[in-house]
């Protein structure tokens, strides 16, 4: 499928819709049967169940029991709808607080990102190199930065740490999700997949060409999914801890 990315449509319209500056529900005519939140929520439901390719204006309209053209009264097209879907799933509670210290806060942030990207398996497949700045996204960043108060990190370092945690969570979730998808598509479990390769791997280990690999016990290769994510998150936070101590912040 073609790579989906944020900001692929009319950026000004997407931003206006995100910030509530383009509410057309009050236009003259019969009382509308739809609302923008209902449209976005249904699109997310479709993507969660069947993947992003299943989302179209026609499909969402059919699920809501209206004609396709009815949706265009609220959102210009699929590209802008995707922007709104990302904004929708990024919502955080108004009183959200991550923890009592920076490390707890960043750990909570990382696990929330892991859950977000494994619950909405389409999300880590979207290229968000140029994210749109909606209220939910900015609120999430505000909450994350509040967890770094007192660390002594510069603004650039704070934003960099939050981005690093988010990028790792996305990457780990994408690999985890893809493995599950591969099982569904091929009918071959991950265990069966690696079992097929075992004779080749064993012969390679006996060759003497890979002494470091050969010295590892079998369990060395069994870390995956959430266990792998937790290790990577701990390594990230350990590294951040060195930087915080160097800045004289509370460790």
* 190-246 residue pLDDT tens: 888 988 999 999 999 999 999 999 999 988 888 889 999 999 999 999 999 999 999
Q: What is the pLDDT confidence band of residue 159, given thresholds at 50, 70 and 90?
A: very high
Q: What is the pLDDT confidence band of residue 189, given thresholds at 50, 70 and 90?
A: confident
* DSSP structural state of residue 28: S
- Give the Cα separation of 123 and 91 in Å (integer): 14
The domains of the chain, with CATH numbers, are 11-89 (1.10.10.60), 102-246 (1.10.357.10)
Residue 43 is predicted with a pLDDT of: 98
Alpha helices (runs of H) in the chain, residue ranges in sequence order: 11-18, 36-50, 57-64, 68-71, 78-89, 102-119, 135-146, 155-186, 190-206, 211-214, 225-246
pLDDT tens digits, residue range 14-53? 999 999 986 554 455 555 678 999 999 999 999 999 999 9
For residues 96-114, average pLDDT: 93
Contacts of 74 (CB under 8 A, 6+ apart): 24, 25, 34, 35, 36, 39
Residue 248 is predicted with a pLDDT of: 81
- Give the Cα separation of 38 and 60 in Å (integer): 10
- Output b/e per residue, 73-88; b: 16+ Cβ within 10 A: ebbbebbbbbbbbbbb
pLDDT mean across residues, the chain: 91
Residue with token string 């071959």: 188
């Amino acid at each position: 499928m073609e790579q989906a990315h944020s900001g692929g449509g009319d950026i000004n319209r997407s931003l206006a819709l995100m910030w509530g500056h383009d509410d057309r529900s009050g236009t003259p005519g019969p009382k509308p049967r739809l609302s923008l939140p209902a449209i976005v929520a249904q699109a997310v439901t479709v993507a969660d169940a069947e993947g992003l390719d299943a989302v179209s204006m026609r499909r969402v309209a059919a699920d809501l029991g209206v004609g396709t053209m009815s949706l265009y009264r609220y959102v210009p097209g699929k590209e802008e709808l995707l922007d709104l879907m990302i904004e929708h799933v990024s919502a955080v509670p108004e009183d959200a607080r991550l923890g009592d210290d920076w490390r707890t806060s960043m750990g909570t942030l990382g696990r929330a990102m892991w859950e977000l990207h494994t619950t909405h398996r389409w999300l880590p497949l979207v290229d968000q190199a140029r994210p749109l700045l909606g209220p939910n996204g900015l609120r999430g960043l505000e909450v994350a930065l509040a967890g770094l108060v007192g660390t002594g990190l510069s603004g650039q370092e704070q934003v960099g740490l939050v981005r690093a945690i988010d990028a790792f969570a996305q990457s780990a979730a994408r690999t985890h999700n893809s493995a599950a998808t591969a099982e569904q598509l091929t009918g071959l479990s991950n265990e069966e997949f690696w079992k097929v390769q075992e004779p080749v791997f064993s012969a390679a280990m006996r060759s003497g060409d890979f002494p470091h690999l050969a010295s590892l016990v079998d369990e060395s290769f069994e870390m995956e999914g959430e266990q792998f994510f937790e290790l990577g998150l701990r390594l990230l936070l350990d590294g951040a801890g060195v930087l915080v101590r160097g800045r004289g912040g509370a460790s």
